[in-house]
Structure 1
Amino acid sequence: MTTHTTRTGEPEDYTTSEGLRRLLIRLHEGEAGAWQSDPVAAELMEYAAEKYAALAHKHGLDKWEAASAAFDVMRSKAARTACDPWGVITHAVRITCIAEERAAGLLCSVHQARRPTFSRFHDAERISDRENPLTDYRPEFQVTDPYPTDPVTLHYGGEATIRAYTSATSAVEDAIALFAMLGWPPDTARAAVEHVSSELARIGSRKSAFEALRRDKYSRALLDLSAWSWLSVIKTLLGHPNPAYAATSQGKGLLLRLVIGENLSMLLLDDDLVLTISVAAPSLRWRDGLA
C-alpha cells in the first residue's frame, strides 16, 4: 500500500476510497492552484493514468485521456461525497471512454455521442471501405419482388417445371419480337434479350441480375450499344430497381409482364414502354451520340 505524508504529518493513501475522499476534500478546500502545486495530486493523476490504461486501450484511447476524464470527476462534489469515490470515478471514466470512441466513429462531438439521438447510428463508413457495392448491403437500396412465385426464376419439379420453362421461353420470344417491331435490328434484339434472360436464370434474382448486367461493359461492347441504351434495355426487361416502382408496370419489367399474362397487343398500348424501347434502338445514331 502506498502512503504519502502531507505537510501536517498525516499519512494519505489515495488507493483506498476513504483515503481518496480525504485527499479530494483537502484539495477542494485548499488554496487556489492546489491541484497544480500539490505533489500528492500529481502522483494521484499518474496512479489514475496507470489504473485506467487498460480501459483506455480497449476503446482506442491514450491512458492520459482516461486520466483527464478521471480528473474532471475528481473535482466534482459527487466524487468527494460518494461512499465509494473510486467506484464513481471508474464508472464515469468508462462512460467517457465509450463516448470518445463513439464520437470518433460517428465523426461528431463527445457531447453528441453521449445522446441516444446520435449514438444509435452506426459508425461512419466510406463507400470504398467495402468490396461489395452499396446496393448489396444497404436495405434502402434493396428491391423486393412483388411476385415471390415469379415463374421466370422458379425451379420446381415435374409438370410445374415444364409450365414455367414454357412460359419463360415464350416470354423471351415475345420480348424479342416486340423489340424488333419497335426499330431494333432482329439479331441485336435477340442477342440482347437472350443475354439478359440467361443472366436472370443463372443468378435467380432480378435485383442481383440487374446489378450484374449494369456493370457488364463487355456484353454492352459486343452488342455495340451505348451505356444509355444498355441501361434502358435492362430496365425494360427486368424492371426499374427503385422500390417505389415495384408495384407498377415499369417496376415489373417486360419479361415478368409477359410471363404473368400480358400479350404483345396489350404491351403496344403502353406508350411509355413503346417510347423507351424505340428511343433505345441502336439504329438511332443521333441519340447514341448524346448518351
Structure 2
Amino acid sequence: MGEATAAMPHPPRAITTAPGFTGAEGLRALLERLAREDGWRSDPAVAQLVGVLREKYALLARKWDRHPDEAVSAAFVVLRAEATRRARDPWAVVTDAVAKTLKAEAHAEWLLISTDRARRPGLVAQERPVRTSGDEEYLTRIAAPAVTGSDDDGLGWLADALVGILAGLGWPADVAEGCVDYVLDHVIRAGRRETAFDELRRDITLLALYELPRESWLTLLRALLGGTGQTGTLARRGMIGRLLLGETAGDLLADDALLLALSDAAPGPRCVP
C-alpha cells in the first residue's frame, strides 16, 4: 500500500479559562477597578463574579440551610469594603465574612433573635433544636374544616389572638392583620411549615404593600412559624404552633424574648398603605 495515510486530526482540546480574579491578586485588581467610576453597575465582570461566588459558596450555604444567593449577597457586602481590597488575601476575608453571616442568619432563625445578636456568641443561648415531629400536627389542624354548624372558619380565633398580640406590641392593626392572614393562608397552601417559611422569607409582596422593612418581616416569620434550622429540625415553636398545641395568648405574653423581638421589629404607622 503505497498511498500515504492521512493523519487523523485530534479532537480539539477543551479550553477552560478561569476568570482572572480567582486568585488573591486578581480579585484585588478587579475590586480596585470596580471601585472606580461606579464599576459595580457597569462592568461586565460583575456578572462573572456573581457566578463564581454562587459556585464557590454553594456548599457553605447548604451547610447552614441557606439559599446560594444569600451567600452571594453576603459576599457582595464585604467585597465593596475598602478593607477587603487592602487585605493580604481578599478571598480569605470574603470567605470568612460569608461563613459568619450565614451562620448568624441560621442561628437567628433557630433562636428567634436578631442577626446582629446572633453574631455575638456570648449573647446567644445554646439551645439544641427540637424535632419537627412534635409540631407537625398543627399544620393539619390549621387546615381542618370548620366544625359543622359553626360560623367560624376554624382560624378566626387564631388570627384574632395573633393580631391582638402584634397590635399590643406596636404593630399597626391593619399591617398585623394583613401579615397574619397572608402567613396563615400560605401555610395552608404549602402544606408544611418548613416549605412555607422558606417561600415566605423570599416573598416581597407585603414588603412592597406595607413598605415593611425586611428585618421586621423576617422577625415576624420567625415569631409566627418558628425558626427553621437544618433539615427536619426547628429550634423553637412559633406562635401559631404554640397556640394550636394548647398555650394561651397569656402564655405568649409571658415570653419576654418573643415580646422584645416583636416590639423591636414593629414597623410603625409609616407602613400603612
Give the TM interval when normalised to the shorter protein.
0.3 to 0.5
TM-score scaled to structure 1, two decimals?
0.45
TM-score scaled to structure 2, two decimals?
0.48
The structure number with the bigger radius of gyration is 1
